[in-house]
Amino acid sequence: MTQFTVTGDVDPFLHVSLMRGEKIICESNAMVMMESTLELKGKMTGGLGSALMRRFANDESLFQQHIEAVHGDGDCLLSPTLPGAIQVVDVGSTHYMISDGAFVAAESGVNLSVRTQNLGSAAFGQTGGFFICEATGTGKLAVSGFGSSFVIDVEPGKDVIIDNAHVVAWDSRLHHEISVTTGKSGGLLGSLVNSVTSGEGMVLKFSGQGKVIICSRNRDTFTSWLLKALPGNN
């Protein structure tokens, strides 16, 4: 059975142990090290149409890495794009929605498909735009966010409001809606003013029952810092 183990405290690796014949899929450039019993191939999973949809939904490369234990059992180390923690969840009875750039790797039994969001989430959210990635099927799924990670259990009657730049993945059974305020009154103008003065910007309100994985750092802040750090942008 394929084993996913997170190793390291700061900017950890995902250590994957595969038995002969098993394979995983992972984001482009995720592989750091693998034993010679494994083979790596770049594939356009699901054809051009599916690959383009995932590109729009999750900012992925058109080609994913497929690592298979062809010549015997073997281990590999994977590293996420963002410097931060990795969470491993089980996909099966629970399906997960995945935010932009959060996908790291999955067992071959996990299907990464694309579905549409409502217009409000698409226009204002940063969790995939109009298209968003959903993990279905059966197997382990590894996701990553910027900084440390934390799992929130949402319960009926106890809605949770989260800054959408900190959302990594969530149970697809949860209902979510985008908002520009954490308050319950004040109208659109009041909401916009509160959003600006509080510095929170857009938030996501989750209701129902399920888990939400969040990260400690704002992904937008990291992106802005990275762009400024590039030569010629100072």
For residue range 42-82, what is the model confidence (pLDDT) as tens digits? 866 544 445 555 455 445 555 688 999 999 999 999 999 87
Q: Mean pLDDT over residues 147-163, rounded?
A: 94
For residue range 77-124, what is the model confidence (pLDDT) as tens digits? 999 987 899 999 999 999 999 988 899 999 999 998 877 665 455 444
Output b/e per residue, 85-110; b: 16+ Cβ within 10 A. Answer: bbbbbebeeebbbbbbbbbbbbbbeb
Q: How far apart are CA 50 and CA 78, in angstroms?
A: 24
Cα–Cα nearest to 25, from 93, 92, 113: 113
Q: How far apart are CA 64 and CA 206, in angstroms?
A: 30
pLDDT band at 10 (very low <50, low <70, confident <90, very high): confident
Could you tell me the two tokens for 54?
């995932």
Question: How many CB atoms are located within 10 Å of the residue 72 CB?
Answer: 13
| Number of helices (H), then strands (E), in the chain | 4, 19
182 pLDDT more than 70: no
Q: Mean pLDDT over residues 118-146, rounded?
A: 71
Instruction: Determine the pLDDT at residue 168.
Output: 93
Could you tell me the two tokens for 7?
């190793």
Question: How many CB atoms are located within 10 Å of the residue 151 CB?
Answer: 12
Instruction: Determine the pLDDT at residue 143.
Output: 96
| Contact yes or no for 51/44 (Cβ under 8 A) | yes
Q: What percent of the chain has pLDDT over 90?
A: 51
Instruction: Determine the pLDDT at residue 187.
Output: 46
N residues, the chain: 234
Could you tell me the two tokens for 220?
């937008």
Higher confidence at residue 86 or residue 125? Answer: 86
174 pLDDT more than 80: yes
**The pTM of the whole model exceeds 0.85:** no
Question: Looking up tokens 């990291």, which residue turns up?
Answer: 222
Per-chain mean pLDDT for the chain: 79
Q: Break the chain into its structural domains and give their ranges.
A: 3-229
Residues 6 or more apart whose CB falls under 8 angstroms from that of 162 comprise 152, 203, 204, 206, 212, 214
Cα 204 to Cα 52, 149, 200, 218: the distances in Å are 26, 17, 11, 14
Fold classification of 3-229 is Double-stranded beta-helix (3.60.160)
Higher confidence at residue 210 or residue 100? Answer: 210
Could you tell me the two tokens for 230?
């590039």
